[in-house]
Structure 1
């Protein structure tokens, strides 16, 4: 079964809108795990407009499944990850002020930099994953950095699927086949939803984990959080 890690950034966004502690981010994280999700993902950004650095510290003792911290490996982020020691860190090349992730790493141009960061995380027992587009050269470059896994950036697939073009999965399938040949673990995320996640899983060999936030929280507004988490788990079997 492909594991489900729930990104709770949107819960933090809602909390921050009123300046209090409603909804309670920590309680939501605990409840999501009780509902069956196999991981909690957060993506703190430098401006802390949703997840705050202190949230990562507060979540660490409460996440008993898999804690995945995503972000651009700048100095403050690296320090936070080394302090919290999550089970997994996912490196994302976000520009400062970006609304959301918009591209994967150029693993060729950034190979030396990524290799250095990954070595530090792995020396501290933290599994590493690199956010990449489904481009074969980038998969090969990721392997050379020493990363344990890649996370396929799935926005392009989700967009094509919504238009009825199921052939949009083909670059992802090819990327996954190569990753398997290179002994890289495969994660995926961005714009995956109840509508498309099952088709995606069926076409990605050895998909280990998906990280889903925006769609899952939005769907939960209508269907309920417990129900939606288990609907995803059913589709990922």
Structure 2
């Protein structure tokens, strides 16, 4: 292992097996980071880790469910055991939940969304901060959404969960603002992903969504990944407690 590799930042990405998370892991790998990628599918995770190593990154996959605190604790501890530290974490694991009007929502649909989108972020930050506070340095990026800033008929529970992510991000950032740790969010608009396909229900829904975007196009995962890498790294050292929109102008 070369000295440059040894000194490369250590980055953890949850929800890394598809969409924005996968693009983010690839972007960090191209920048030379040492990577732990996580998700719930071992086969897909091992394949992603191999792809990252083919790009020259020191990378491994660790299976974890962000809804389970013991698994999150183990994920962070294994990252530190392998690399000795944790410089940046991207909390991307999320779900669109069950779209539909408020009157059709249940305690179960609420829990299914909030347990991943909100509890998962809370538990991830808790254990990432445990390590970063001991180091006296670190950066966390939570993946929010344009719907963390505005409302959307038919998506109330998802919207509420992303508003919660925004609140967690700002509050946690204030708690550690003097410690050398930065916490921010990146808030994508409609991005070409499998989640968008499920959320819109097909081509007609995507066409309608595209018309709502001032830029009149959907975003791409690489565009979001570039913003995450910028916010996470030493290029944004005076940025904390912020939510950066990557949404084609939806929230302008």
TM superposition score category, shorter chain reference: 0.3 to 0.5
Task: Give the TM-score of the pair, scaled to structure 2.
Answer: 0.37
